[in-house]
Amino acid sequence: MLERKYSCRFVMSLGVVILAGCGSTLQTITANTTVPAAAPAALSVNELYRLGPGDKLRVIVFGENDLSGEFFVDDSGAIDLPLVGDVPATGVTVGEFEDRVVARFKEGYLRDPKVSIEVLNYRPFFIIGEVRNGGEYPYKSGLTSQDAVAMAGGFSYRANQKTVYIRRAGENDEQGFDATQRVPIYPGDNVRVPERFF
């Protein structure tokens, strides 16, 4: 282990890689050493989330107040925007939908439209099974399976408190998860708490 400090750089010599950190102690790593990859940056719900019926969006077309406003994704999966009509929204991210709106406004309506879109209200999630008050609940950013159970009044006395099943929006099958962990819940998810076996 080297204890000398260097400026930020990588040094390679005879199959040995020396990682030099900014003012940190150097570490010598041989060619056979495995260095764990850096964890990817956490993505926000808006970056991951795919729009669907029931979502409420704020659409801002800069410099065009008459074209801006708040709109719902309707049951057909589209948003009816002024001037351009229905723009399909289901199954795409907010960024992808922005691109669609820009493309539609460019079709003979605006020369260089600048569009910003944000989700105001996500569609609800659902929870059933062994909870006190199953049903439909409004989605909140950062929601986890433990939060969902709490919103539904907690576990019933028959609940298996170690497992929770989640069927993601747009999927046909549910997956089992450890109920003691903070499993992310997304808008449109269906959460099921099973009954325990005695």
User: What does the alpha-carbon distance between residue 48 and residue 93 come to, in Å, rounded to a whole number?
Assistant: 7
What's this model's pTM, rounded to 2 decimal places? Answer: 0.66
Residue-wise pLDDT tens digits, 151-170? 999 999 999 999 999 999 88
**Is the distance from CB of 94 to CB of 118 less than 8 angstroms?**
yes
Cβ–Cβ under 8 Å, residues 190 and 160: no
For the stretch 65-113, pLDDT in tens is: 999 999 999 999 999 999 999 999 999 999 999 999 999 999 989 999 9
Q: Is the pLDDT at 44 greater than 60, yes or no?
A: no
Q: Give strand ranges (E) for the chain.
A: 9-13, 16-20, 27-30, 56-61, 69-72, 78-81, 85-88, 115-121, 125-129, 135-137, 163-167, 175-178, 190-193
Of residues 118 and 42, more confidence is placed in 118
Query: Class of the 125-193 domain?
Result: alpha beta
What is the Cα 7 distance to its own chain's centre?
38
Domain boundaries, the chain: 1-32, 45-121, 125-193
Measured CA to CA, the distance from residue 184 to residue 44 in angstroms comes to 12
Right CATH number for 45-121 from 3.40.30.10, 3.30.1950.10, 3.40.50.720, 3.40.50.1700? 3.30.1950.10
